[in-house]
Amino acid sequence: MKYGLALHTSSPALGLAIGSNYDDVRHRSWDLGRETSNLLHPYLRDFIDPQTWQDLGWIAVANGPGGFMGTRLGLVTARTLGQQLDLPIFTVSSLAAIAWQLPHHGTIAISMSAQRGEVFGAIYDVSREERGLRVMLTDTVMSAGDWETRLAESQPSHHHSVPQSANLADTVLGVLALAQMAQAQGDHPHWAMALPFYGQHPVVGSSIGQ
């Protein structure tokens, strides 16, 4: 039985999760701050035990929005593993992972502060009974006023605003779960298609929740 490995480094923390199915999952998070880049590899090596690299069937990684350096670190690590082990890589929106782990269903709006007073915003339709997440508004950077207009137009059931100080590492479980759903549907994205989303440039390739 093959395992999926998920990484989340888009906030000043490290989140790792591994599982072979929806019921066989373990995860941990560490608030490492600036030490994440130095400690990621030893923490990953210790975390994966008792599984081995050969037990992995795919990798998932949060590809933003989030901190530039942290998001880049996670993507580089995932791509390196994907290339060396010849594994597919699922990139998952940080906002989609948050939406999936909230204790709500229906239409969920997620927003996060961006630069220059702007916000990252996305809207999802979440159905846990059917294990599905449908994108209503893809991850977009916009002014606060434009976001309020989008909220008024869509009238979501729930709106969650992510604080700047939020530790997103625990939402690595959402990264793993959304990738598991895509993998179960037959998706097999090549590692070279795993790209970050910083908000300032168009996304090339495919990402879950974007």
For 66-95, what is the mean pLDDT? 96
Same domain, residue pair 76 and 179: yes
- Report the chain's mean pLDDT, rounded to a whole number: 92
Q: How sure is the predictor about 201, in pLDDT bands with cuts at 50, 70 and 90? A: very low
Q: The domain spanning residue 23 has which CATH number? A: 3.30.420.40
**Tell me, what's the pLDDT at 1?**
83
Q: Which residues form the domain of 87?
A: 3-94+167-193
pTM score above 0.85: yes
**Tell me, what's the pLDDT at 163?**
86
Q: What's the structural domain count of the chain?
A: 2
72: in domain: yes
Same domain, residue pair 17 and 66: yes
Same domain, residue pair 52 and 133: no
204: in domain: no
For 23-51, what is the mean pLDDT? 95
Angle between helices 94-101 and 172-184 (to 10 degrees): 100
Q: How sure is the predictor about 202, in pLDDT bands with cuts at 50, 70 and 90? A: very low
177: in domain: yes
Instruction: Identify residue 62 by its one-letter amino acid code.
Output: A
Same domain, residue pair 106 and 82: no
Q: Which residues lie closer than 8 Å to 11 by C-beta, 6 or more apart?
A: 66, 67, 70, 166, 167, 168, 169
Same domain, residue pair 55 and 32: yes
For 165-189, what is the mean pLDDT? 93
Same domain, residue pair 106 and 88: no
Same domain, residue pair 116 and 134: yes
Same domain, residue pair 132 and 188: no
